Amino acid sequence: MSDFGFLKTHRTWEDWCGMLLGAMIVASPWFPVQDAAISGQQTVILTTVAIGLVVFGISQLEYVALQRWQEVTTILIGLWLIASPYVLGYSADGFLRFYHTGLGAVLVLLGVLQLWQDWDLNDQDMLKHGQ
């Protein structure tokens, strides 16, 4: 029986996964499968690129110097990415709505996993991450 011991420690692959998610979010407005209607919405494009860059940057910071605020911010950004199609008005654009909802859910799950893994660590132990 498996005890899922590999999920109890914050590993660097999780940070790399966050960087990959950030890059995918940045590129998402230009995927060829989506509707052409999104190309005229500069707010959606700028918001998506900003979210992706923040996710990428936070994941790089987690790789170098781990702090709890980074994980909480990842969760909040994931929730915003899930809500953004409805708040910014592009929920009718099928592919991008599903894509942002899915990526947002993965971000929330990744942030919750990392926060759970690091919950009992003190600041000194968190600073040793990645070394």
pLDDT digit string (tens) for 66-86? 777 888 899 999 999 999 989
Lowest mean pLDDT among 29-38, 41-50, 65-74, 115-124: 29-38
Question: Is the pLDDT at 23 greater than 50, yes or no?
Answer: yes
Residues in the chain: 131
- What was the pLDDT predicted at 6? 55
CB 102 within 8 A of CB 25: no
Among 37, 5, 18, CA closest to 77: 18
- Only one residue has tokens 């190309």, namely 39
Question: Can you give the pTM of this predicted structure?
Answer: 0.79
Question: Is the pLDDT at 13 greater than 80, yes or no?
Answer: no
Among 86, 72, 80, CA closest to 103: 80
Q: Tell whether the torsion through CA atoms of 17, 23, 24 and 26 is positive or negative.
A: positive
